[in-house]
Structure 1
């Protein structure tokens, strides 16, 4: 009974923490036009860094913190991450300029990386493989609950109290999670107490990711192309270093020798690259093209994550019985349909068509996410849960950065670095349609990677009998 109660506490804490990040991301998307007005931002690429700065910081540090958690304790790093999130949310709430807000969001991403790199690892450690899909499905449902309440509550808070109160509320909520974790969870779940931490590998990883994202934001300038080329070189050096290191921050060998792990991560990367920008693009479309208020735009956007939250537990349970490859690939195929419909948006597109497309996206993502996460976590050794959890988050975060990078690149190529104005609405509409078309093509490629991953249940059975 004590073990059962302890596991339930782990599930509650993990789900509470999983709520924060999608809530912050989706609520801020709706608040971007208001932030733009408050700070009189003249460069829309700079406004995008309110979201991108958070994602970039989290992506840089999530894998290193996953490894640190394996060495020093997953609960310890989880709590420290919550404390960083509390402080950074306070800084966001008192920001006096767009630059201070972007910097505070970067610190927020740093703290979130500690949470990303440990929460799924803690949850996977506490529950056996026979019910892992179910609990991961519940966790994913809460992620989507955060995303679904984000647009509505974010729009409501922005309209009636101001966007700063989004961060003030987050600060209090994170404090409650930290207190509950310290009071109720006793285990640390660490397996590699004697290993050294790979500082050089972590630095190379950070340099490569930063160069990649900053380079994307500067395209089509020549400096952007130079940074992208440098990012490729830095990533090659990183992989070579990791292959020679006895205690790598990222076990590159897992990608070479584990097809399920490799292709599941690639499928996740492409899926997030194709889907994360949807809320950003639709927020601009609904408010600038259709003329809706932030609150109304939030209510419309909420339809996708509501569908995700409803169907994710079902998809998680299904992946305990049916091969995750089949469930996840079917889900990504539905995302292709939704993105394809969005690529035909025009100013006169009916609200009903927009909601139907969002429902396709929501159902598709629900069927993809928890089965895919189950496949990744079940394909590695127990002592690698921290790194695997970090990779789940890394693929998500790099995908999200890439999604916003693609949208930002298209906006820059078509609209330049000018502020969105009534005279720019035609160019804005073109940018939105092209972005959705590119996302749809990416998702088709992702279906191929998802199908190529192999049979997880057959491989696990072979490893047990072998």
Structure 2
């Protein structure tokens, strides 16, 4: 039962009050749904493939269908919240996400599961931008930093627990509960939001929504991803046609965004060389992360012989390190500037991925797996918080929300392409995940590729990133457990407000 409290205006809620606790509970529950989905689904992939008797491409689509719609629509989702009310769009997103999760959990075949995952991404694009934006809009200015700190800390704990929880569900009740878990979270979240979270919107939002841009961007990614995933079957006319269509739609998207008066992705935001450089680093870093976390969970289960629970637990050190040390990393980045963290961080991550080459049949966790994950985790700690701060510092304060949304979408698109392309580049056949020998050999080819992309990111950062001005805007969210994408931050203009620490 949810206790009823008098309605409150936005911008006056204080931490420590009943309403403040309800607002924090709502936003943590909402962001946790999307965050858990990003961290636990990979653990379930081998069991999904076995139950549906599918090939490798279906496992790729199970991950990518969600990332595709989320990356393509997250900027539009932030704008919808600003225009029609952040609480309203957030609640719609939670309900949509829960309904799609229920469909995932009940999916009778792989085709329905992939379609439901795409619908989940739409719900994620509606709810994710609203989570931190609701905190920024609801709390009194004096309490916002503290509220964001509580929100990000609880989100970090959730991110750390996610892989363990996913593995336990897969080995216990079954992989379907990885998705069904979202339904009770939504049942708790929605009534609390409707009763206790004040509505807010940006009265300055005007103009038409860039639906055409959102559709073109998502369609370009979809065709290109399809071509990469289906290419192992041969360069058929269908594959070539999809690749060409993706490139053409991408070019049309760029042309549309240049001509529109109110584009979803204003080209002039890339006039900042620092913003462009940091987004290139983001593409490299999160492409490597996306490929690594997709393949490493399969490697641990298919080759090493771990259960889903063991594989999920094995990956905990990276997230725990980020939870414990990311705030200090952010402080260090403020003192010395972002250039060194954004150079050293990717190099440490590359070293961690190369250490994963020791992980094969009969691998020891303490001797082989843990050192690789610790080095990788230290690299992620070093780079993620300074990366977010540098993105926000590279644009005017009024465009901080848009800049953060663009950076988050770029990271998700990079992960999407990596999950599609890496198995192809490594020579992974459609049945590779059924054979320990074949998967192990292709995994050993894939890790140096991920490391090479990280080294490229480090070189870009060293050559282009500079220390921002001392009066630049810094993110209030200091705890970052961003495995799938950089954390969204809410800006005053809020074209794409805050989200989870996924």
Whichever structure has more helix as a proportion of its residues is: 1
Matched, 1:387 2:402: yes
Matched position secondary structure for 2:472? helix
1:11 Cα deviation after fit: 5.7
What does the per-residue CA deviation read over 1:123-177, in whole Å, with 9 as the maximum and x for residues that have no partner? 5667999999998777665555344322211111111211222222211113333
Q: 1:246 pairs with 246, 249, 261, which one? A: 261
Structure 2: how far apart are the matches of 1:135 and 1:327?
A: 27
Counterparts of 1:8 and 1:319, CA distance in 2: 31
- Report the equivalent of 1:336: 350
Q: What is the CA deviation profile of residues 386-417 of structure 1, one whole-angstrom value per residue up to 9, with x for unaligned ones?
A: 43343233122112212211333246x342x2
Is the alpha carbon distance of 1:390 and 1:174 closer, same or farther for their aligned partners in structure 2, counting shifts above 3 Å?
farther
Tell whether the 8 Å contact from 1:208 to 1:232 is kept in structure 2 after alignment.
yes
For the pair 1:351 / 2:351, whether they are aligned, the reply is: no
C-alpha change, 1:146 and 1:300, in structure 2 (3 Å) is same
> Cα offset for 1:110?
0.7
Aligned residue for 1:100?
Answer: 112
Give matches, 1:358-397, under 5 Å.
Answer: 358-381=373-396, 383-397=398-412
Alignment counterpart, residue 270 of structure 1, candidates 264, 284, 307 = 284
RMSD: 3.0
Could you say which residue in structure 1 is the equivalent of 2:3? none
Cα offset for 1:333? 2.5
Contact 1:21 1:112 in 2 (8 A): yes
Q: Larger deviation: 68-77 or 348-357? A: 68-77
Which position in structure 2 is the counterpart of 1:178?
A: 190
CA distance in 2, matches of 1:164, 1:216: 27
Distance in 2 separating the partners of 1:28 and 1:242: 34
**How far apart are residue 285 of structure 1 and its match?**
1.6
Q: Which residue in 2 is equivalent to 1:429?
A: 440
Distance 1:101 1:58 in 2: 16
2:96 aligned partner: 84
The aligned counterpart of 1:440 is 451
Q: Secondary structure at the match of 1:229?
A: helix
Structure 1 position 231 matched with structure 2 position 207: no
1:345 offset after TM fit, Å?
Answer: 3.6
Deviation at 1:30, TM superposition (A): 1.4
Shift of 1:325: 4.0
Partner of 2:223: 211
Indicate how the Cα distance of structure 1 residues 238 and 328 shifts in structure 2: closer, same or farther if over 3 A, else same. same
TM-aligned CA deviation for residue 272 of structure 1 = 0.9
Give me the whole-angstrom Cα distance separating, in 2, the residues matched to 1:164 and 1:300. 21
Instruction: Report the 3-state secondary structure (helix = DSSP H, G, I; strand = E; otherwise coil) of the residue aligned with 1:456.
Output: coil
Give the CA deviation at 1:249: 1.0
CA contact (8 A) 2:40 2:167 kept: yes
Secondary structure, aligned partner of 2:384: helix
TM-score normalized with structure 2 length: 0.81
Structure 1 gaps, min length 5: 462-466
TM-score normalised by structure 1 residue count: 0.87
Whether contact under 8 Å (1:125, 1:385) holds in the other structure is: no
- The answer to whether the Cα contact below 8 Å between 1:134 and 1:313 also exists between their aligned partners in 2 is no
Aligned length: 455
